[in-house]
């Protein structure tokens, strides 16, 4: 005769079946309006220049417009005038920081 001991079968835990398939992070800037406003206006200016080049037909247009609208609200909430975002050469060169540098020969 073989000795069979009773087996205890536990239900599977739902936590064992879960896998991480992505992650995200976010920042909440905390400072004074006077310190944050110039950077927010500069970012709004850059994004408005980019917005002029994004085609309406792309799937990203609604999301990009939504982000620009949110940023417009933040600038207005800090007391700035979002209709008069700075558009000087210094702000437009910030958008080109990621472009690859050309090597001189």
The per-residue pLDDT for range 19-63, each reduced to its tens digit, is 667 777 888 878 899 999 999 999 999 999 999 888 989 888 999
Per the structure, the complete domain to which residue 69 belongs is given by 33-94
* C-alpha dihedral sign at 40, 41, 46, 51: positive
Residue 104 pLDDT > 90, yes or no?
A: no
Please report whether residue 50 resides in a domain.
Answer: yes
The per-residue pLDDT for range 51-100, each reduced to its tens digit, is 988 898 988 899 999 999 999 999 999 999 888 765 554 444 444 444 44
Among 42, 40, 96, 48, smallest CA distance to 68 is for 48
Residue 20 sits at the vertex; the CA angle it makes with 14 and 62, to the nearest 5 degrees, is 120
50: enclosing H helix or E strand = helix 33-51
Please report whether residue 89 resides in a domain.
Answer: yes
CA distances from 50 to 20, 27, 44, 78 (A): 34, 23, 10, 23
Helices 61-77 and 33-51, axial angle in degrees (round to 10): 150
Please report whether residue 55 resides in a domain.
Answer: yes
Please report whether residue 24 resides in a domain.
Answer: no
Residue 15 pLDDT > 50, yes or no?
A: yes
Per-residue pLDDT at 18? 65
pTM over 0.75: no
């Amino acid at each position: 005769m073989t000795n069979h001991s009773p087996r205890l079968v536990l239900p599977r835990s739902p936590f064992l079946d879960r896998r991480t398939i992505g992650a995200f992070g976010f920042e909440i800037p905390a400072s004074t309006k006077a310190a944050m406003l110039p950077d927010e206006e500069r970012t709004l200016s850059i994004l408005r220049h980019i917005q002029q080049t994004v085609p309406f037909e792309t799937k990203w247009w609604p999301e990009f417009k939504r982000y620009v609208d949110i940023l417009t609200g933040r600038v207005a909430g800090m007391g700035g005038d979002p209709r008069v975002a700075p558009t000087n050469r210094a702000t437009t060169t910030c958008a080109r920081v990621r472009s690859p540098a050309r090597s001189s020969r």
